Structure 1
C-alpha cells in the first residue's frame, strides 16, 4: 500500500513517517501541491495526508482537485487551525477527516475506520511452524501468514514438527487438534511445554471441534490461545499479532530485568561483582559456614603502585589495566569462588570451603599469574592479604575482611608483590 504525504515541514514529515512506519505503507513525501499532483499521475495511492497550507495552494484546494479524479481515496488534512468555518470547508471539499496537529494519534483511529481491515496493520516478521495433516489447509494458511510477514514451515506429524524445531527458531507455533495416526495437537503441546527451549514460544491451537472440553484441554496443556475453523482472516491476524506482541513484550521485560540486575550487582568497568553484592553474599556465606563449621577464606588484592600507572600513562590506560587484571583474576577462579572489585584498584575474593593453607596457595598462584600479565605492556604486580574463618569461635565477614586487609597492609610494607596470611 502506498501513501502520499504532502507536507512542506520536514519536522512533520518525520513525525508522520514515525506514526505510519508500523503499517505496510510505502511513503512518498512531497512539499507542494504541484509535486503532489505529479506524484498522483505516477502512482496509485491508498491514503493521502496533506497540510492545510502549502507553498502554492491550500490543502482544501488540493483536496478539491483530487476529488475531481478520485472519489474514494482517504484524504486527511493536517492542520493547527480551529476555525469551524474553515474546517467545514475542508470537509465539504472532500476531506475524509481533519487531523489536529496537537492530536495526531487520531490519524491512526481514522485509518482503522476508513481503510479496509487487513494484515497491513501488523508489524510482524519471522517464522511460524504449523502442524496440520491437510496439505490444502496448510497451503491456504501459508498464503495468509505471508501477508502478515511470516514465513511458514509445515509438518504433517509430531515427529516431523519436532525435527523442524531442532533446526529452526520460530516466532509462533500453530497446531491442529485432530491429527492422523491417533496423534493429537494436545500431545504435541504437552511435549513442547515439557521442553525448556519452547517454554515462552506462543502456541495457537486450531480446531474444527465444537467441544468446549477439548478447547479447555488445549489451554490447560499450554496453548496460549485457540481459533476455530473455518478461520476468519482478520481474527487469525489479530490473534497472531496479540500472541507475538505479548511474547516480545515479555522478552523485552526479561532483558530489562536482567540489565537492572547487572547494574545492581556488577561493577560497570570490570564486569566483576561490585562491593555491595559481595558484602551481601558474604553475610549469607559466613552464616552458613559458621552453622555447618566449614572453612571459608577471604583474599584482599591490591595492584601495586597503581597511582603511578595513572599518573604516568593516564586514567584511560589505568582503566584498561584494571579490566585486564580483572579478566585474568576471573580466569583463575571457579564458579564457586566469588570475585569482586571492592573499589579503586582493590579486589576481594571469597573462597568457600577453603582453609588458610589452601587460600595462601591460591593467592600465590594469582600473584604469579598477574606478575606475568603485563597489561598494556606495563609491568604490574599485586599484593595479597589472606585470612580465614576461625574454627574456635563464630566470626563474620567484617572481622575476617579486617584481618585480610591488615595482612595486605603488611605485604605492602614488606615490599609489595607478595602474599601475607594471618591466622585467626
Structure 2
C-alpha cells in the first residue's frame, strides 16, 4: 500500500506522517507537483494527499492534470488546505479531488480513509480502548488478540460490578458484552444500566451472543445495544462491525462539535468571544418579556472605550484588538453568569443586567471603570464611558427603548469628559 504526500511544509509532513503511520502505508513525501508527477509515474499509489498551494502548481491544477492523464487517474486525491472559500473548494471538487480536508480538521482524513482502504485487518487501525464483559477467560483472551489487530486495547470484566468499576476509571471507544453471564446476570441488564446514565448514552455497545433466539437479539437492541454479533465470531465480521460502530460514533461526535462551532459562530463575536449584537437582541426579547411577566427589574449598560481610534492610530490595530480582548475579559469577570455581555461593534459593548435596579447597575459600571483604568492593557492607560438605564415597569418599554436611553446616557458621559458613568431615569 503506497501513499503519496505532496506537501511543502515540513511541519505538516510530520503531522501527516504520524497520522498515516498506523495504516501500514509505504509513504513517499515530496514538496512539489513536479516531484509528485514523477513519483506517480514510478509507482502505483492507493492514496494521494496534496496541499492546496505548491511551489509550481495549486492542488486544484494537480488534480486536473491527474484526472486528465492516463497514469493512476482513479487514485483518491485529498486536498489539504486552510482555505474556507466555498467557490475555491467547489473548484477543487470539480477538478477531481476526492475530498477537501481542512488543516484544522485533519482527523477527518482518517475517517475518509476507512471508506477507501480495501478490507483487511490493517484497514481498521482504530486507537482507543474497549471494554468486554465476558465470563469466559478463554473467549476474552481470544477477543483481546483480535482487538489488538484493530489497534484497540481491551479491558476485560467477569461481572457487571467489575465492569462498572472499570467504567469509573477509564474512557472507552466501545463496550462489548456477552448476553448470558454467570450469577444470573445478563448483558441485557448491563446495557440497560449503561443507557440509563447520560455519559454512556452515546457510547457504542456491541452485544455478543451464542443464542440463535431472534427475540433475544431484538431484546438486546431494544435495551440500547447498537449492534450484535453471534458466536462463533468471524474475524472479518467482528472487524467490520466494530469499525462501523466506532466510525459512526466519531462522526456523530464530529457533527456535534461542528454544530457547536456553528452555534458559536452565530452567537459569539470572533475577536472577543463575547456574545454578538444579533444574539443579544434575541436574548433581550426573552429577558424583557420575563421581566414584565414576573415584575422583575432589568438594566442595560452601554460601554464605549474612550479615544479608541487614537489607540489604533498610535499603536496599531493589533494592539487595539488586544485592548478589546482585555476589556472583554474584564467584563466577563465583572458580571454574573446570569448577565449577558455582548460586543455591539467596534469598541462598543452592551451588558444586560438581569434582575438589577438602576443604582446597582450604575455601581457595577463604576467598578468596571476603576478596574479597567488600573488594568492598563498593553501598558496603555485605557478608560471607558458608560451609559446606564433601567426598565420602567410603568411604561410599555422593551430593549430598544431602554437601550436608546442608555446610549443617550453614554453620549452625556462622553460630553462630560469621559471615564465616567451616567445613569438616566425616564
Band the TM-score falls in, shorter-chain normalisation? 0.7 to 0.9
Structure 2 matches for 1:11-410, cutoff 5 A?
A: 21=20, 24-27=23-26, 101-104=72-75, 112=118, 118-410=120-412
Give the deviation of 1:123 after TM superposition. Answer: 3.2
Distance 2:27 2:421 in 1: 71
Structure 1 pair 395–54 and aligned structure 2 pair: CA distance change class (3 A): closer
Distance 1:52 1:277 in 2: 51
Aligned to 1:85: none
Aligned to 2:46: none
Gaps of 5+ in 1: 32-49, 56-78, 83-98
Structure 1 pair 372–27 and aligned structure 2 pair: CA distance change class (3 A): same
**What whole-Å deviation, never above 9, does each CA across 1:54-91 have from its counterpart, x for those lacking one?**
69xxxxxxxxxxxxxxxxxxxxxxx9999xxxxxxxxx
Give the deviation of 1:127 after TM superposition. Answer: 0.7
Distance 2:158 2:405 in 1: 69
Aligned residue pairs, count: 353
Distance 2:116 2:398 in 1: 67
Regions of 4+ moved over 3 Å: 20-24, 28-31, 50-55, 79-82, 108-112
Distance 2:396 2:67 in 1: 75
Give the deviation of 1:182 after TM superposition. Answer: 1.4
Give the deviation of 1:4 after TM superposition. Answer: 6.7
Give the deviation of 1:175 after TM superposition. Answer: 0.5
Distance 1:341 1:365 in 2: 19
Give the deviation of 1:281 after TM superposition. Answer: 1.1
Give the deviation of 1:275 after TM superposition. Answer: 0.6
Give the deviation of 1:391 after TM superposition. Answer: 1.7
Which range moves more in the overlay, 288-297 or 250-259?
288-297
Distance 1:347 1:52 in 2: 56
Structure 1 residue matching 2:342: 3-state secondary structure: strand
Structure 1 residue matching 2:190: 3-state secondary structure: helix
TM-score after normalising by structure 2: 0.76
TM-score after normalising by structure 1: 0.77
Give the deviation of 1:411 after TM superposition. Answer: 0.8
Retained in 1: the 8 A contact 2:195–2:201? yes
Retained in 2: the 8 A contact 1:22–1:122? no
Structure 1 pair 81–263 and aligned structure 2 pair: CA distance change class (3 A): closer
Give the deviation of 1:334 after TM superposition. Answer: 1.2
* Structure having the higher Rg: 1
Distance 1:118 1:287 in 2: 61
Give the deviation of 1:353 after TM superposition. Answer: 1.2
Give the deviation of 1:29 after TM superposition. Answer: 5.7
**What whole-Å deviation, never above 9, does each CA across 1:365-392 have from its counterpart, x for those lacking one?**
2222112111111111111110001121
Distance 1:250 1:346 in 2: 38
Structure 2 residue matching 1:270: 3-state secondary structure: coil
Gaps of 5+ in 2: 8-12, 31-37, 44-65, 78-112
**What whole-Å deviation, never above 9, does each CA across 1:126-171 have from its counterpart, x for those lacking one?**
1101010110000000000011111101011111111111111111
Retained in 2: the 8 A contact 1:179–1:185? yes
**What whole-Å deviation, never above 9, does each CA across 1:183-219 have from its counterpart, x for those lacking one?**
1111111111111111211000111112222211111
Retained in 1: the 8 A contact 2:326–2:377? yes
Retained in 2: the 8 A contact 1:81–1:100? no
Give the deviation of 1:296 after TM superposition. Answer: 0.8
Structure 1 pair 241–419 and aligned structure 2 pair: CA distance change class (3 A): same
Structure 1 residue matching 2:175: 3-state secondary structure: strand
CA RMSD of aligned residues (A): 3.1
Aligned to 2:99: none
Distance 1:370 1:111 in 2: 57
Give the deviation of 1:118 after TM superposition. Answer: 2.7
Give the deviation of 1:23 after TM superposition. Answer: 7.8
Structure 1 pair 4–300 and aligned structure 2 pair: CA distance change class (3 A): closer
